[in-house]
Each structure stands twice: as C-alpha cells, then as structure tokens.
Structure 1
C-alpha cells in the first residue's frame, strides 16, 4: 500500500488513474483546483484535495495536509496540464507564461516540496505526465510543445539527481487519447488567430483536430492509467512509457525522416 498524490484528478486521465490506483488498495489523494469536481471520486475511496498548481500557498497546504494525515508520500504523479495552441505571433506572452506555470513550474514546485520526505525514507516514485509532444512538434503548438520538451528535460535531470536517494522517476508520453484535450486546444487555436494573418490556417488545423478527437482513432484514457499503474508498481519502472494512438510510429518517423519531410507531414496531418 502506497500513499499517492495525483494532480489534475478532476477529469480524463487523472480521474481514471486515481480510480484505478485506489482500486489497488493504495491511499490516493486526487487533487484539483475545484473540490466539487472531485466529489465523484469519493465513491472509489479517493481522497479529494484542493490544489491550485499555480499557487504556492495552495501547493504547500496540500503537501502539509497529506504529511499531517499520513506522515509520508510514496508516489507523486504530476498529471495536471493543458494544451494551448496558436501561432507564435498570435499567442500572448501572458498565456505562454501561464502554460509554463501549469505544465512545468507548478509541477517543479510540488516536486521540490515532496522530495525531502522521499529522501528521508530513501524511497519514492515521481511520475511526470509529458506527451509524445515532448518528442515532436505538431502544427501551431509551439508553446504547448515547449512546455512538454521542458518536462522531458526536467525529468531526465531529476532522475539522475535523485537516484542515489532511492527515488525513481518515470515519464508518461501519451499519443492521441480520447479526452477533451483536443477540443480545448482547438478552441484556443481558433480564438488566438481570429482576425489575424494566421486565421485561415488556424481554422483548418482546428477543424482537423476536432475531427481527429471525435473519431474512434484515439486511444482510451485507460491505456495511460495502466501505464501509470505499471510505473507505480513495478520494481524496475521504465524511464519512459510511450503509449497511445500514433505515439510510437510518429516518434520513430521523427527520428528517421529528414526534418523538412516530417514538417510537411505534421503540417498536413489534420
């Protein structure tokens, strides 16, 4: 039995993962900004925890609550994040900074607060949700991919630094997963380009994204939850779990194809 904290637990991958981990007799704290969105998880014995990943005091309070109630944290799953698409010229620096705050800096601060407890017990797991988008770039997704490339580098450095303290670090790299993520990204893409030089391209790309995420091509979020479960429970977890629709073939194609060819594929993928 492990004490687990998972962020972004109010919907999608985070929700299903919290439910799955709790079914394995773990003590699971599911965290999100709004407690009311976590109420359904109570029936699976997941403990709701209010946590705004962009607010330092909220992060400190969440960790303090778990330590007070359990005395330790065995597994941290940094799952909170979102995708904000738009041409580099169109996306405000304020929005770009917010995406880094949610997808990287909040995760980093939470990790910093949990690490001392893991070092003290000389054991722990940190699992960071990245994306196949941390290994390749899709059309008009500059800022989102920048955050995920950063998560990859952050995780690699963290894994090397903490190994001697018995802490294992894994990265989850989902491909196309059937959640609302694609629709949210498409909405932001169209909104950012409205009335501008990139409006026509953005509308076409957004339409393609909605079509993809409405189809049956996308993988069920359960494939990600199962990968996270393996990272939690395995004696020798992988450093990376590349899973879901398109993930392995696209990353492989990025490795072997000339850059101009891969750019063409990604630009016309939708």
Structure 2
C-alpha cells in the first residue's frame, strides 16, 4: 500500500472526486493540487493536504514533489489528472492555444512523472496513474488536437509501464468516456471561439457543439466524476492494478465499435449520428 498520493488538477471534476475518495483510506496521505490553493478549501476541510501546483511551471512542480518527498521519502502514487480540451478544426484552431493544451495534457504529465521517478526507484515501489480518455483511442470531429494529446498519453503510458516495471513501479492508464464535469463546457467554449460562424466549417462546428452538449446531458452516455474516482482508487490501491481502465459502458461500446468498423466505416457511422454533413 502506498503512503503519499499526489494528485494534479483537483480544483474540480475527476481530480476533486478522487481526492475525496482516497482521503478515506487509512494509511494514505492525499495531496491535492491545483493552480490556486484557495480553490481547494473544502478538500482541506475533509482531511486532504492541499498544495498549489501548476503543471506548466517547473518551479511549482519541483516544489510540490520536494515537499511530499521531504515528508514521506517518496511519492507513493502520482495521479496525473490535470488536463482540458481545446477544440476546433485542424485548419482553424489557434496553434498557440493548442501548444498550451499540450503543455498541460502531455508535457506537464511527463515532467511530473520524471520528477517522482527517482525516489520511487530508490524505494523499489510506486504507482503512476495517468488519466487519459477514450479520446485516446478514437477521434471525434473538431477535437483532433485534444485527441492528439490523449493519444500521446497512451503512448507515453505504454512505454513507461515497460520501462519502470523492473523497479517495482506499476503504471495504469485511465480512459474515461463522457464525464459530467466542466470539461464539456470548456470544450464548447473553445470550439465556439475557434472559427467565424460563417466559416467553411460552420456546419460541422455547429453539429459538433450540439452533439457534445446533448451527449454530456445524457445520463445514458455520460457518468459522474465519482465513477472515475472509484476506478482510480483501484489503480492506486490494488495489489495488481490493471494496465488500462476504460470507464463508462458507453465508452466501451464506442471504443470497440471504432476498432471493429475501421476508419472509413467509423466516419460513416459518425455522419449517421449527426456529426456533420456529407
């Protein structure tokens, strides 16, 4: 059983739900982090340690890891949860915004991993849990850059799992489907700001916006963040955690549908589902 659990991106959604769930485990000290410590005052009241941590700032990341290592010798489990969706078509999306997304979703995750590994190797044990997405295994229109960041997390996790196994470090990937957090609203906002309403992709963007809004409202297609927190709990505490956890029944159906149909047939499936004109 690990002792110190460091979670990134706990100001809301999956990260917050995970911090609350793990806080109830005896023997675990949970460190919840976000850019603004004041956004986590309720977690502090629930017995969770809170730290300011920005996964795009080197000094901030080093300070948080150093504090946990000073108190526990090593980070027992790192949950790389910080991330968001920057939506827009490949042609129209602002690349500076895309770069910022990759700094959080990919390079922040990678750097946090690099920082905790030396002490984990020295201890001969550790857990790294990367929160990816079903969007790392299939792609929806107007989300290519977000999906690219999650495909990158898939690749990094697969390599990391093999590289660190001999040091007693277990690595798991969490692949949530649609989760009812602020993610959908953020994605819709970036999509709306990525192109002019009368642009060449106006119809596609409108269809994507409508589909996202409807899907996130559906209790059949989406799930609350607590569903992901329960899975992360298993990845952190199980003796033999799984390498991958695909979360929500709808996500499992979509991922396997994409695998079985292939690219052209899946494109046709998306069109029939209302994701844009022929």
TM-fit CA distance, 1:116: 0.2
Write the mapping of 1:107-256 to structure 2, written as runs, cut at 5 A: 107-195=109-197, 196-217=199-220, 218-256=222-260
TM-fit CA distance, 1:110: 0.8
Contact 2:3 2:72 (C-alpha < 8 Å) held by counterparts = no
Contact 2:132 2:176 (C-alpha < 8 Å) held by counterparts = yes
TM-fit CA distance, 1:128: 0.1
Mapped to 1, the partners of 2:144 and 2:210 lie a distance apart of: 18
TM-fit CA distance, 1:96: 1.3
Paired residues, what number? 270
Mapped to 1, the partners of 2:87 and 2:224 lie a distance apart of: 23
Residue 64 of structure 1 aligns with which residue?
A: 66
Mapped to 1, the partners of 2:139 and 2:19 lie a distance apart of: 29
TM-score (ref. length: structure 2): 0.94
TM-fit CA distance, 1:265: 2.2
Mapped to 1, the partners of 2:210 and 2:235 lie a distance apart of: 35
Contact 1:170 1:239 (C-alpha < 8 Å) held by counterparts = yes
TM-fit CA distance, 1:259: 1.5
TM-fit CA distance, 1:245: 4.4
Mapped to 2, the partners of 1:265 and 1:48 lie a distance apart of: 44
Contact 1:31 1:50 (C-alpha < 8 Å) held by counterparts = yes
TM-fit CA distance, 1:243: 1.0
Q: Decide whether aligned partners of structure 1 residues 269 and 171 sit closer, same or farther in structure 2, where only a CA change above 3 A counts.
A: farther
TM-fit CA distance, 1:214: 2.2
Q: Does 155-164 or 250-259 show the bigger shift?
A: 250-259
Contact 1:125 1:167 (C-alpha < 8 Å) held by counterparts = yes
Mapped to 1, the partners of 2:250 and 2:215 lie a distance apart of: 12
Contact 2:4 2:77 (C-alpha < 8 Å) held by counterparts = yes
Residue 19 of structure 2 aligns with which residue?
A: 18
Instruction: Tell me the SS of whatever aligns to 1:145.
Output: helix
What are structure 2's unaligned runs of at least 5 residues? Answer: none
Mapped to 1, the partners of 2:187 and 2:219 lie a distance apart of: 18
Q: Does 214-223 or 181-190 show the bigger shift?
A: 214-223
TM-fit CA distance, 1:200: 2.6
TM-fit CA distance, 1:258: 3.2
Aligned counterpart in structure 1 of residue 96 of structure 2, from 82, 94, 97 = 94
TM-score (ref. length: structure 1): 0.96
Instruction: Tell me the SS of whatever aligns to 1:246.
Output: helix
Instruction: Tell me the SS of whatever aligns to 1:223.
Output: helix
What are structure 1's unaligned runs of at least 5 residues? Answer: none
Mapped to 1, the partners of 2:38 and 2:202 lie a distance apart of: 37
Write the mapping of 1:25-40 to structure 2, written as runs, cut at 5 A: 25=26, 26-40=28-42
Contact 1:83 1:181 (C-alpha < 8 Å) held by counterparts = yes
